[in-house]
Amino acid sequence: MELLQLEYFRTVARMQHLTNAAKFLHVTQSSLSKTIQRLEEDLGVPLFDRTKRKLQLNDFGRLFLKRVECALFELEEGKRELIDLSNTETGSLALAVNTANFLPEILHQFRKNQPHVQFYVQQLDTKEMETHLVKGELDFCLSSPPIRGHEIECDIVLTENIYIIVPKTHQFANKNDISWTDLNKERFVSLKKGYGIRDLTDHYCEMAGFTPNITYEGDEPATLTAMVQADLGIAFCT
> Are the C-beta atoms of 96 and 164 separated by less than 8 Å?
no
170 and 216 belong to one structural domain? yes
Helices (H), the chain: 3-15, 18-25, 29-43, 59-86, 103-113, 126-134, 196-207, 222-229
15 and 67 belong to one structural domain? yes
Residue 125 lies in a domain: yes
Q: Print the domain residue range for 19.
A: 3-85
Residue 151 lies in a domain: no
| The model's pTM | 0.46
Count of domains in the chain? 3
67 and 23 belong to one structural domain? yes
Percent of the chain with pLDDT over 70: 93
189 and 227 belong to one structural domain? yes
Provide the pLDDT for residue 80: 73
Give the CATH number of the domain where residue 16 resides.
1.10.10.10
133 and 167 belong to one structural domain? no
Arithmetic mean of pLDDT, 70-82: 81
Provide the pLDDT for residue 103: 75
Residue 129 lies in a domain: yes
Neighbours of 191 (CB within 10 A): 24
8 and 76 belong to one structural domain? yes
174 and 119 belong to one structural domain? no
Residue 81 lies in a domain: yes
Arithmetic mean of pLDDT, 105-116: 77
Mean per-residue pLDDT of the chain? 84
Residue 196 lies in a domain: yes
Boundary (domain end) residue, out of 64, 85, 106: 85
Residue 210 lies in a domain: yes
Give the CATH number of the domain where residue 195 resides.
3.40.190.10
pLDDT band at 125 (very low <50, low <70, confident <90, very high): confident
Residue 89 confidence (pLDDT) above 60: no
22 and 75 belong to one structural domain? yes
Arithmetic mean of pLDDT, 66-95: 77
Provide the pLDDT for residue 46: 93
168 and 226 belong to one structural domain? yes
Provide the pLDDT for residue 212: 92
Cα→Cα distances 49→40, 80, 139, Å: 12, 35, 45
110 and 132 belong to one structural domain? yes
Provide the pLDDT for residue 133: 81
Arithmetic mean of pLDDT, 135-154: 78
Arithmetic mean of pLDDT, 42-68: 88
Residue bearing the bigger pLDDT, 188 or 113 = 188
